Each structure stands twice: as C-alpha cells, then as structure tokens.
C-alpha cells in the first residue's frame, strides 16, 4: 500500500556571538525514484535570503544560500510531501563473478572502494567473510547486516557525526550512521558495491492519518545485486514505504544534511527536529 507523508525537518543553529556571515549547503529534499515520488518540496531559511538549487555529483538535490549580514541564529526548515510504495520482489542475484566483472568496468567501482569512514580492520573483514561463506549477494547483505547489528547496539547519542565506523565497532554501540557505515564497509570489502543512504524513517508502520509524530533522520544502505536494493541494518528490514530517500553516496560526507562555513565564534551543536504526518 502506498503512503503519502508530509515531512518537516527543522535545524536551528545558535552562535555564541553573531556570525558575521555564513555560506551554507542543505541536502534535505527527497528524491523522486521508482517507488518514491516527491510531490512538493521547499527549503525555507530564517533570516530570509535567496536560495538556489543544483544536483551534485552523487545525484542529490542541494539547496545553497549565503547570509552576508550578522546573524545570531539560523533556522532551516525543509518541508516536503512524498508518496512512497512498498519495494518490489528481489530479482535473482547475479553470481559473484558477474558482480566483479561489472564493478571493474563501471561506476560501481566508486561504491566498491573503501573511504576513510568505511575502512574496516582485517580481522573484522574476516569475520564478515566467514559469516557470508557460501551465500549469494542478497544473502550476504543480510548476513553482514546481522553481524553488525548483533554487535553494535543502537544507542542515540553514543557517537558523533565524526565517529569512524571502526570506533563504533570497538565500543559496541552507535547510531544508524555508524551501523550503515560498518555494513557498507564490510560489504565493499567482500566485493559487493554498496551505497550509504541518507533520508528519513517514519517511526510508525501503522500510522494514524493526519496525526503529527516525531520522526528522525536516518541512514541505511543500498547494495548492488543486479539492481540496487535498499536494506536497513539498524532495523534488520528491507527499506520500504516507511523510508524516504534524500541522498546516496559513499558515506555520510557525501550526503551531509547541512554543512557550510561561517565567520564568527562557535556555538553549541544544532538543534534538529523531524516531524512526520501521514496524510494518505
């Protein structure tokens, strides 16, 4: 059954002293994809300033803006209306030889190579290899995701945005970003191209219509097994109509929701709130 979801993503930044100026990029606009249609999307900025949009290398819509006057606070509100549908059935998995052949001669290589955030210790790669012995690519994705989720407990606030995946493994706790990085890094090490996905997750699968609920930004992976297949290792499920894709890349650095530079004194961390309303 399809869903129609209204998403309100608010980010509030407060500076210790008024920033002299700032230059910003925002990745908060859901994509239109098979199984996901963005019906409306706006990014509002306070203090008010002109914005512009473009598509980055990885296919994510970026909203840019500059604030050239002093400002003590910055509020970014991204509002979107998205229709989502359940995923289709899995297509037959290619052989590992077929995956390796295509990786060697296509852009899939970009998603099969490690990054600084997703480089895995050799001992951990061997554990993943043992867990996936004899499995096809679809089965391998589930097995490796389970290996990660069994070891790394999901504990909000246990890590930060700059935490490397291997650190989260060592401490046995992390957030969805860490679990997605670990899963992506291990699948790549086993030869399976994997994308890091940034987006939103509605927290209630049987959500009541027109009732706003607190949601969250979320991260999961898509692996290539003849086609891209979304899998949420934090929740041990295929990405479905509760998941809304905003961007994909090699890791978090490619799809950061808000980043930029400013002149001024640093303040505290931004305050972020995501609100979902199911309207159909």
User: What pLDDT shows up at residue 160?
Assistant: 87
Cα atoms in the 13 Å half-sphere on the side-chain side of 142: 8
Q: What is the mean pLDDT of residues 16-22?
A: 94
CB distance 197 to 245 below 8 Å: yes
pLDDT of residue 156: 92
Residues 214, 217, 221: CA angle, nearest 5 degrees: 135
> Residue 176: exposed, middle, or buried by beta-carbon count in 10 A (0-12, 13-18, 19+)?
buried
Tens digits of residue pLDDT in 232-256: 999 999 999 999 999 999 999 999 9
What mean pLDDT do residues 71-99 have? 97
- Count other Cβ atoms within 10 Å, centred on residue 182: 30
SS3 187: helix
State the Cα–Cα distance between residues 125 and 121, nearest whole angstrom. 6
Query: Does residue 221 sit in helix, strand or coil?
Result: strand
Query: 224 forms bridges with which residues in the sheet?
Result: 228
Assess contact for 138 and 224: CB atoms under 8 A: no
Per residue in 3-15, pLDDT (tens digit) is 999 999 999 999 9
Q: Confidence class of residue 216 from pLDDT cuts 50, 70 and 90?
A: confident
- Mean pLDDT across the stretch 90-98? 96
Quick one: 35 exposed, middle or buried, by C-beta within 10 A (0-12, 13-18, 19+)? Answer: middle
Residue 205 has pLDDT above 90, yes or no: no
Q: What pLDDT was estimated at residue 40?
A: 98
Where does the pLDDT of residue 96 fall: very low under 50, low under 70, confident under 90, or very high at 90 and above? very high
How many Å apart are CA 78 and CA 96, to the nearest integer? Answer: 41
pLDDT (0 to 100) of residue 161: 87
Closest by Cα among 206, 199, 202, 189 to 220: 199
| ω into 218 cis (within 30 of 0) | no
pLDDT digit string, tens, across residues 122-181: 999 999 999 999 999 999 999 999 999 999 999 999 998 888 889 999 999 999 999 999
Q: Could you tell me the pLDDT band of residue 111, with boundaries at 50, 70 and 90?
A: very high
| CA contacts within 13 A on the Cβ side of 227 | 9
pLDDT at 242: 95
Coil vs helix vs strand at 58: coil
Nearest to 22 by CA among 69, 62, 58: 69
Strands 173-174 and 153-154, by their bridges, are: parallel
CA gap 148, 153 in Å, rounded: 9
Per-residue pLDDT, 21:
96
Indicate whether 267 pLDDT > 90: no
């Amino acid at each position: 059954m399809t869903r129609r979801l209204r998403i309100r993503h608010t980010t509030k930044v407060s500076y210790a002293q008024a920033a002299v100026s700032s230059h910003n990029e925002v990745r908060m606009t859901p994509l239109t994809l098979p199984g996901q249609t963005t019906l409306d999307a706006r990014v509002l900025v306070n203090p008010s300033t002109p914005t512009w949009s473009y598509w980055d290398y990885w296919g994510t819509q970026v909203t840019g803006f500059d604030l050239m006057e002093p400002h003590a606070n910055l509020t970014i509100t991204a509002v979107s209306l998205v229709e989502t549908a359940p995923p289709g059935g899995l297509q037959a998995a290619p052989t590992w030889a077929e995956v390796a052949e295509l990786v060697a001669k296509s852009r899939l290589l970009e998603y099969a190579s490690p990054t600084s955030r997703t480089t895995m210790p050799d001992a951990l790669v061997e554990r993943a290899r043992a867990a996936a012995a004899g499995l096809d690519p679809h089965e391998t994705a589930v097995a490796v995701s389970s290996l990660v989720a069994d070891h790394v407990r999901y504990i909000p606030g246990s890590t930060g945005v700059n935490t490397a995946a291997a650190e989260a493994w060592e401490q046995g706790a992390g957030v969805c970003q860490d679990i997605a990085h670990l899963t992506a890094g291990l699948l790549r090490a086993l030869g399976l191209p994997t994308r890091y996905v940034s987006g939103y997750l509605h927290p209630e699968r049987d959500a009541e219509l027109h009732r706003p609920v607190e949601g969250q930004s979320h991260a999961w992976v898509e692996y290539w097994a003849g086609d891209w297949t979304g899998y949420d290792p934090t929740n041990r499920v295929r990405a479905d109509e509760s998941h809304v894709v905003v961007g994909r890349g090699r890791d978090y650095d490619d799809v950061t929701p808000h980043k930029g530079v400013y002149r001024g004194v640093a303040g505290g961390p931004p305050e972020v709130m995501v609100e979902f309303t199911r309207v159909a």
